[in-house]
Each structure stands twice: as C-alpha cells, then as structure tokens.
Amino acid sequence: MGDILGLIARRLGLGLVILFVISIIIFFMVELLPGDIAQAVLGQGATEDNLAALREQMGLNKPAIVRYLEWLGGAVTFDFGSSIVTGERVTGLIGERFMNTLFLAAYAAVIAVPFAIILGVIVALLRNSIFDRVANVLTLTSISSPEFFLGYILILFFAVKWGMFPAISSLSQGMSLGDLLYRTFLPALTLVLVVTAHMMRMTRAAIINLLASPYIEMARLKGAPPWKVIVKHALPNAWAPIINVVALNLAYLITGVVLVEVVFVYPGIGQALVDAVSKRDFPVVQACCLIFAATFILLNLAADVGAILTNPRLRHPK
Amino acid sequence: MVKSKDVLLEIEDLQIQGYSDEQWIDIIKGVDLTLHRGEVLGLIGESGAGKSTIGAAAMGYARDGTRISGGSIEFDGMELTTATEEEKRSLRGNRIAYVAQSAAASFNPAHKIIDQHTEAPLHYRLKKRLEAQEDAMELYEKLRLPNPEEIGFRYPHQVSGGQLQRAMTAMAMSCRPDLIIFDEPTTALDVTTQIEVLAAIRDIVDEYNTAAIYITHDLAVVAQMADTIKVLLKGEEVEEASTKEMLDNPQEDYTKSLWAVRSFKRPQKERPKNDVPLISVRNVDASYTGGEKVLDDVSFDVYEGMTVAVVGESGSGKSTTARVITGLLPPSKGEVLFKGEPFPPDYRNRSKDQLRQCQMIYQMADTALNPKVQISEIIGRPAAFYQGLRGSELKSRVDELLDLIELEPSKYYNRYPPELSGGQKQRIGIARALAADPTFIICDEVTSALDQLVAEGILRLLDRLQKELNLAYMFITHDLATVRSIADEVVVMQHGQVVEQGPKEEMFKPPHHPYTDLLLSSVPEMDPDWLTTLLEERGVDNVGEAASSDIDPDAGKVQGTKI
C-alpha cells in the first residue's frame, strides 16, 4: 500500500505544479490583453488625474511580478480580490454560483454515469445486435447535436407542449431539494444526453477489447454464461479507460456548461464567466479560470488514482 | 491400472473452417478421433496443424473466426454439433475442462486464484463455497503446490508460472471432469519447471481416471504423457498408434521426419591457440535502475568463428548479459573487451565501426520487424547506415543478403513482414544482422518460437553463414537440444552467475555443477519411461523449482577445471 500512497502523493504534487504554471499563464494572459483596467473602470471621460489615482489605489503601478505574487497569495486562501465592476468580493460573487454549477453537475452525473456504464455493458453483451446499433445511433445523435439545440428541443416538448417541467431554472433561497431537482430537471437531462454517449461507447469498447484475452476464453470454457463473462471477467479489467473518460466528462459538466446555463437561465459559474469577460472584470475572469483549471486537475488526479486502485497488480504487489 | 474401455468421446469426419481474407477456408479436413474413459491421447503436429482447434472442438467450442462445418462430435452420448449453446455450456468446466498454454494469461488478473477455481463448482451448484475452497486446497496439495492452504488466496501475478500452471490444472479438476483438454500446458515453461508440471498432471489424471487430450509439439513430452499418439499435419491425420509403437516404429515419412529433427549436429570446434578472444566479458556486474544485482561477476570469452551457448532458466541473466555486451545496459562493474580492447560500456559512445561488429537476432521475429516497412528497407537500412551504400550498390547488397539467407531476391524485395511465414521472418532478422557486416552476432532464443522443422532450417542456415563469413555467435537458449546441435562451448547461468562453462562435449559429461545436472536431467527424452525413471531416481520433491532453489550457485563451481 505504501507504493500507492507514494504514487498518489507524487501525482498530487505534480497537480500542484501544473496548477502553479496555469496560474502564471492565466495572470499574464489577462495582463497581455489590450487596454487599461483603470480606463475600463472609469470610462472614456476620465481625467488623467483620476486614472492615475485609481491606478495607484488598485496597485496597478506596481511591477507585474509583485501583483502576481499578491494575487497568488490571496488565491491560495480563496481570496481573489474584488470585482472591478461592482466592487464586491469575487469569492462572494462566484462562490454561490459555483455551488449551483456543482449541484447541476452532480445531478447530471448521478444519472449519467451509472446509466452510461450499464448501457455500455449491455451493448457489449449484445454487440452487433439491433439493440447495439440503435443505442449507437441514438447516442451518436445526441453527442453530435449542439447542447443548446438539445436544450431547446427538450424545452419545446417537456415545457411548452407537455408542460411537465419549467423551461427556466429560477432558483431561490430555501427551496426544498425536491423542488430544486424538479426545476433543474431539464438542464440536467440535457447534460445527461450530452455526456452519456462518450462514456457508454468507451465502456463498450474497453470491454470488447478484452474479449480476445485468453482469460475470457478460459471463463467461457469453464461454462460461464455470457453476462457473467462480461460482468465478472471483462468489466473488472476494463475500469481504467472507463474511469478516465468518466473523469473527462465530469470535468466537462463543470467547466463546459456555459451554453446550457444560458439556455435555461441557470445561475451557474459559466454565466458569471461570460458576464465578466464582456465587462472586462479581470479578477472574476482569473478566479473562474483558476477554478476550472483546478477542477480539471483534481478530476484527472481522481481518475489516475481510480485506475491505480482497480489494477490488482498495483493493489496487491508481489 | 486397468482402464475401462467405454468410449467417452467419438469424433467423426470433423471439418472446421476458418474465416480469412473474406472467405471460409478448411482448416480441419475430416479428422476422426476416439477416446475411451481414462485414456490419454497425445495430439502432435506443428503450429497450424489444427491441434488446438480440434481440442476446442472436443468441447463443442469454435473459437472466434472459426466454425464447425461438418462431421460429428459425440461426447458421452450427446451430439455436440447439434446441441444448443446452453447444453454445450453445461458440459464445459463441469464434465469437460480446459487447461491453456499460458496460465499467466488465462487466469483473470482481477480475481484471486481460488475464486476462479471455485467458479465452476459454485456455478453448477456442486458444492458450497467453503467445501469448494477446501477441495481446492486438497487439489493444490496433491499437485504439490507450496502452501496449499494459502496460495489460492493470492492473485495470479503473485504466483510463479510453474505454480500457476499447476493451479490451472487443479482448477480444471474442480468438478472432477470426465475429460480434460491440455493445450500445450508446459510449452511456456523452463525445462526444470516443466518436469514438475508434467509429473503433477500425470499423477492427478491417473488418480481420478480422467481422460485427456494432450496437445503439444514436443514429442518427448507427449511420450511421457500419452497412451496413444495421433500425428496431425495441416488439418489432416497422418497416423495414430500407441505411444510405444509410434516411437519405435513410425510408419509415415512425415512422422519419421519429426522424429529425426533432433539429429542435426555439427562437429565441435576447438579454440584457436594463442589468440585474443573476439569478445571477452570480464567480471561484469549489472542491475536495472535501482533494482537488485541481476548479473554477478559474469566472465566468459567468445572466440572468432565459434559458437558459445548461454543456457539457464528464465531470469538467470542470459538476456541481460546480451544487453551489457551490446551496450544497451552499461555494467555497474567489470568490462567488455573486443579483440582485447575495451568496448565503451554505453552504445552511444561506440563508434560506427564498433557498433557494426556486434549485432542481434531476436526471439520474436514478429515483433522485431516493423510490419509496415518493406523487406528491402529493413535489410537496406543497416547496409546504408554502416557502409554508406546508395542506389544500385545498395540494391545489389540487399540482393546479395537475400541470397545468403536463401530467399529469392526478386520475390521478396518488395514484400512486407506480415506476408511471410515465421521461418522466413526469422531469416529476414538474420539478414538484417548480416547487413551490418558483423563479426559477432547475439542470437536470443532465435528458434524457440519456431516449429522443429523450421527451427532446424534456421540452425543449418546459421551454421552455413558461420562457415562462410567466419562469424562468432553467442547463442542464448533454454533448449538443450539446440545447444547439442550448434554449440562449441557452453556457459551455464543461474541467478545471474556463471555456474559452469567449458567445451560442449565436456559439458554433457559428468561431473557437473548440481545446477547443470538439474538442467540436463530435466530435458525430456523420447523414452516413454523417462519421467517415471527420473522421478524414482530424484524423488518427486526434488525436481523443478524446489530443486533449483536448493542449489547454491557457488556450490562446487567446476569452472576453470574444464578450460
């Protein structure tokens, strides 16, 4: 077990290094954008004196490296400074929205991940049957349609024609969980449709890839029925690629949902990012980017660890 | 033991087709087979003869890409060619069991050995889990596995190959089947380990009066195991007879040729007097990054135009020695001399001329040749690199090399490796090594993946090339028959040490280092009583891994007394 802990510690360390490099890139890319922050805040009518005073107040006259270190120092304590548009603390501004995004992602993931894996196992079992082909065509269709289009289709049927679910996810404080789940059902369903195909196809491919292995033939020659061959003998050896694809899709659920949030007017972090970019609210943009990067790194780390834990050779060393 | 004479398995006019190049091709062309209860039938033939396919068909099983297209397979009154999938499945693992070639690949890496063992008895509701586990431990004990109470609770990768093969035999026994198909169960094992597995299989099959089909390409092995032998060639039966009769008096020419394969032997050469060795390995220690020492004070010489065979079990350091000589793995101590001059330890520091001297031929020609590169380029690249040949000069050099390895240049020049047979691919591997115009070639198990007749052809070719080009060979092998036929000198390695070395004739004569003795006595002979006699002499617990781990490499090194 010591080896595994060491391996995890090394991956974690590497993740931190990557995050550090990304923080540099994010900060200085924003720095490179044309225009002057003080000018952006005060508008075209500002006088030189006002601009200079604001720059002094915001610390813009300090060398970039100093400002970077100050920003990084704040970031590690989740203090990303203040919005230059509203003056609010960035953490307060995006904290709640990030929680909303996490909620929606979790909602979609809880449905999509088991659904995709079970479906993947079934199509692997019934490979080349009609069911396999139909499932393939349907999931391919859903993955190739843009998510906003899927969203509008769902709204058209479930909200407009049949009136089963609300088209707009208006959230308010103190809603019951049931209410919350009901109001966010359509965006969650859209996301499920978008991510299922990828995970299902990987599950199918990973399992079928193993079917030529001698130990699968051995299982068959021991008289194991087909479902047992797949579930008991192939699936336990197929986890590594499946976990990786699941992690990528979970990361997408958090960082890639901007369009879905816009379609359903869902108050998530994606919308906050879009707003901030259009208003040149740099501290918010930087904070969002850093959160997205951290999400990706964490989920990939989790996938690596998961793949290690499902490998018996690493779990039970000689 | 008197065996009852009821017919258990009756195969008549079996025809099996395989799908390749968009069409069905006959691979088994009307084979008959009768097996009685408790009888062991040996199926022998070269790869592609259809042995394994018939073995699988005896379970009513057609591998992916094959189909049973005709004939009948009757197992204990049930016709398998017309039985439903469910009916056939209910026999498998229960009344007919299978033991595969590579236990390491045929055990599922994700489950404990004992859980795989008990799968069939639990599935067929023959036993409760605990009963099945106790039965497994009993079988492990019968098959002389160490720690029978505990070994089943390990994962397959935690157990050695020979032990795993016995565990798989135990697994096949789990439902006490009427018939077991053994598909080359010892081919992947060292000779010393093979004995243990053979003895274990023979005992247990005898004890439960299980019928068996024993598939192998090794005649000496089948002679120990089978009551009757059936010889196959390209999907057709050549002949069938009782083991004794088959060995003493084979009828067909093909069978006779199989028996005669081990006859190739060339005269042993003596070392040239007062000459510097071509390659001299001096007191070499080596280890892989951060690992334990895998070579410990290895020293031996190879003289010009001579063949030194390096023998030992897997893991004894044979291939590592090759890596040190070629400069792929710089030694941690000691050095390699070429004609008395030190060879730079890292190949990156060797000059083109030094690199040219020392070439390699690999075991798996399949993986050693890039399948997407034309033969002309595979051979032409080293010729261009070392000799700077271009254009028509290069082409004539490639033609010359193809001529040397007895492949017609115009026919093979533009072909790709996958279009060639195993023996032809190995010839291309040889031509690639020759293209550099070397003086020394390391042959790493070059014949062990080939059938005996093909292997013999390769050995003859290497011998001819040695005479014509005055090459020196270092021949890494675990097959002592190969050593007998081609070596001038032998180096025996165990646990990274050289335990004995000397001229071949002396090496095959006692007294030996105990390990050499074990290796030599473990090579199956064509005598059907060989295994029985050996086990009586040595005792069942003094063969294989048990015996080899008892031997201290330092015990009575006979080195030096012979040279």
Which CATH number fits the domain that encloses residue B308? 3.40.50.300
Average pLDDT estimate for B171-185: 90
**Average confidence score pLDDT of chain A:** 86
Q: Is B124 on the interface with A (CB under 8 A)?
A: yes
Answer whether residue B306 shows pLDDT above 70: yes
Average pLDDT estimate for B390-419: 90
Q: Is residue B478 part of a domain?
A: yes
Answer whether residue A85 shows pLDDT above 80: no
Whether A205 and A300 share a structural domain: yes
**What are the tens digits of pLDDT across the range B213-242?**
999 888 888 888 899 999 998 888 888 888
Q: Is residue B325 part of a domain?
A: yes
- Contacts A–B by Cβ distance under 8 A: 74
Amino acid at B91: L
Task: Provide residues of A within 8 Å CB-CB of chain B.
Answer: 212-215, 217-225, 228, 232-233, 236-237, 312-313, 316, 318
- 3-class DSSP state of B73: strand
Q: Is residue B552 part of a domain?
A: no
- Check residue B261 and give its pLDDT: 56
Q: What share of chain A has pLDDT > 90, as a percent?
A: 30
Alpha-carbon torsion B107, B112, B114, B116, what sign? negative
Report residue B392 as tokens. Answer: 């028509």
Rounded to a whole number of angstroms, the distance from the CA of A222 to the nearest CA of chain B is 4
Q: Which of B106, B109, B154 has its CB closest to that of A313?
A: B109
Least-confidence region, from B331-335, B353-357, B544-548: B544-548
Measured distance CA(B82)–CA(A49) in Å, rounded: 97
Measured distance CA(B50)–CA(B59) in Å, rounded: 15
Evaluate whether B475 touches B360 at the Cβ level (below 8 Å).
no
**What are the tens digits of pLDDT across the range B95-133?**
999 999 888 889 999 999 999 999 999 998 888 989 999
CATH number of domain containing A152: 1.10.3720.10
Whether A37 and A147 share a structural domain: no
- Check residue B253 and give its pLDDT: 82
Q: Give the domain extent around A259.
A: 97-279+288-315
Q: Is residue B121 part of a domain?
A: no
Q: Residue A258: name the closest of A249, A250, A248, A269 by CA.
A: A269
Task: Report CA Rg, chain A.
Answer: 24
Q: Which of B64, B92, B111 has its CB closest to that of A221?
A: B92
Whether B405 and B295 share a structural domain: yes
B550 — pLDDT class (breaks 50, 70, 90):
confident
**What are the tens digits of pLDDT across the range B43-59?**
988 877 888 889 999 99
Q: Is residue A82 part of a domain?
A: no
Which residues of chain A does B100 touch, with a Cβ-Cβ cutoff of 8 Å?
Answer: 214, 217-218
Whether A111 and A224 share a structural domain: yes
Whether B238 and B347 share a structural domain: no
CB B157 to CB A318 under 8 A?
Answer: yes
Which residues of chain A does B90 touch, with a Cβ-Cβ cutoff of 8 Å?
Answer: 223
Average pLDDT estimate for A191-198: 90
Alpha-carbon torsion B130, B132, B137, B142, what sign? positive
**What are the tens digits of pLDDT across the range A30-48?**
777 766 777 777 777 777 8
Backbone angles phi and psi of B186, in degrees to 5? -120, 5
Q: Is B247 on the interface with A (CB under 8 A)?
A: no
- CA closest to A225 among chain B residues: B89
Whether A45 and A146 share a structural domain: no
**What are the tens digits of pLDDT across the range B14-28?**
999 888 778 888 888
ipTM of the complex: 0.79
CB B157 to CB A236 under 8 A?
Answer: no
Whether B247 and B284 share a structural domain: no
Whether B452 and B501 share a structural domain: yes
Answer whether residue B71 shows pLDDT above 70: yes
Measured distance CA(B297)–CA(B558) in Å, rounded: 15
Q: Which residues make Cβ contacts (< 8 Å) with residue B40, sequence separation at least 6?
A: B205, B211, B212, B213, B214, B225, B226, B227, B228
Rounded to a whole number of angstroms, the distance from the CA of A236 to the nearest CA of chain B is 6
Crossing angle for the helix pair B452-469 and B253-260, to the nearest 10 degrees: 50
Evaluate whether B200 touches B535 at the Cβ level (below 8 Å).
no
Least-confidence region, from A45-54, A194-203, B70-79, B290-299: A45-54
Q: What share of chain B has pLDDT > 90, as a percent?
A: 33
CB B106 to CB A218 under 8 A?
Answer: yes
Q: Is B561 on the interface with A (CB under 8 A)?
A: no
CB B110 to CB A225 under 8 A?
Answer: no
B562 — pLDDT class (breaks 50, 70, 90):
very low
Highest mean pLDDT among A55-69, B154-168, B188-202: B154-168
Distances (CA, A) of A16 to A9, A12, A303, B344: 11, 6, 16, 42
Least-confidence region, from A167-181, B175-189, B390-404: A167-181
Answer whether residue A62 shows pLDDT above 90: no
Answer whether residue B534 shows pLDDT above 70: yes
**What are the tens digits of pLDDT across the range A114-140?**
999 999 999 999 988 999 999 989 888
Q: Is residue B127 part of a domain?
A: no
Q: Is residue B241 part of a domain?
A: yes
Whether B248 and B386 share a structural domain: no
Report residue A202 as tokens. Answer: 């990987």
CB B93 to CB A313 under 8 A?
Answer: no
Distances (CA, A) of A171 to A126, A165, A174, A175, A177: 42, 14, 9, 8, 11
Answer whether residue B79 shows pLDDT above 60: yes
How much is the pTM? 0.79
CB A218 to CB B61 under 8 A?
Answer: no
Average pLDDT estimate for B252-276: 76
Residue at token pair 């047992």: A228
Interface probe with B: pick from A127, A211, A215, most Cβ of B within 10 Å: A215
Answer whether residue B29 shows pLDDT above 50: yes
Distances (CA, A) of B543 to B160, B190, B292: 15, 12, 27
- Check residue B559 and give its pLDDT: 45
- Check residue B555 and give its pLDDT: 62
- CA closest to A211 among chain B residues: B64
Q: Is residue A86 part of a domain?
A: no
Report residue A290 as tokens. Answer: 């850093």
Whether A101 and A65 share a structural domain: no
- For B283, what's the count of Cα atoms within 13 Å in the CB-facing half-sphere? 2
Q: Is residue B248 part of a domain?
A: yes
Number of domains in chain B: 2
Answer whether residue B3 shows pLDDT above 60: no
Q: Can you count the helices (H) and strands (E) in chain B? A: 24, 20
- CA closest to A217 among chain B residues: B106
Q: Give the domain extent around B18.
A: 7-38+48-89+231-260
CB B93 to CB A222 under 8 A?
Answer: yes
Number of domains in chain A: 2
Measured distance CA(B305)–CA(A236) in Å, rounded: 54
Whether A27 and A137 share a structural domain: no
Answer whether residue A202 shows pLDDT above 60: yes
Distances (CA, A) of A59 to A63, A68, B288: 9, 11, 55
